[in-house]
Amino acid sequence: MARKAHTIRRSNLPDRKFGNILLRKFINKVMLKGKRTVAEQVVYAALEQASKKLNKTPLEIFQGAIDNVSPMVQLRSRRIGGANYQIPTEVSSDRKVVLAMQWIIAAARMRKGMPMAAKLAVELVDAFNNTGGAVRKKDETHKMAEANRAFAHFARF
């Protein structure tokens, strides 16, 4: 039986303010219920607040945060002989960015008592400085992968 054909990947348009494709993807991930304008306002306000705190350009902060949170390895669950093993595998470059964005947004949403723009700004600053919830998530993933390195040989099936 033949496998399904590969789908054609559509390219995203750049965002309105900075002309960055990666930032547009980030805005799309922040967006809830199809409200892109609201998501854009939140992300741009967060980047503005973060750039005032760090005295760097918003795109430098965004790129630095993504680079610091991007994982090198991830765990994939695999069933072998009636047991489930967490197998560490390398992460593709596209998936690294996607995971970093998801972790930054999730860590920002976990914070309480502030508007979303402020929460996102704090999380971006923390990620840029290699601290915060998203970086902790990356470190936990790397520790789990290191602990399960004994099962790495199962990945070569």
- pTM of the complete model beyond 0.85: yes
Identify which of 126, 134, 117, 110 has the alpha carbon closest to the alpha carbon of residue 48.
Answer: 117
What pLDDT is recorded for position 121? 95
CATH superfamily of 21-155: Ribosomal protein S7/S5 (1.10.455.10)
- Each residue's pLDDT, cut to its tens digit, for the chain (157 residues) gives 678 888 888 888 999 999 999 999 999 999 999 999 999 999 999 999 999 999 999 999 999 999 999 999 888 887 888 888 778 888 899 999 999 999 999 999 999 999 999 999 999 999 999 999 999 999 999 888 888 777 667 666 5
What are the residue ranges spanned by the domains of the chain? 21-155
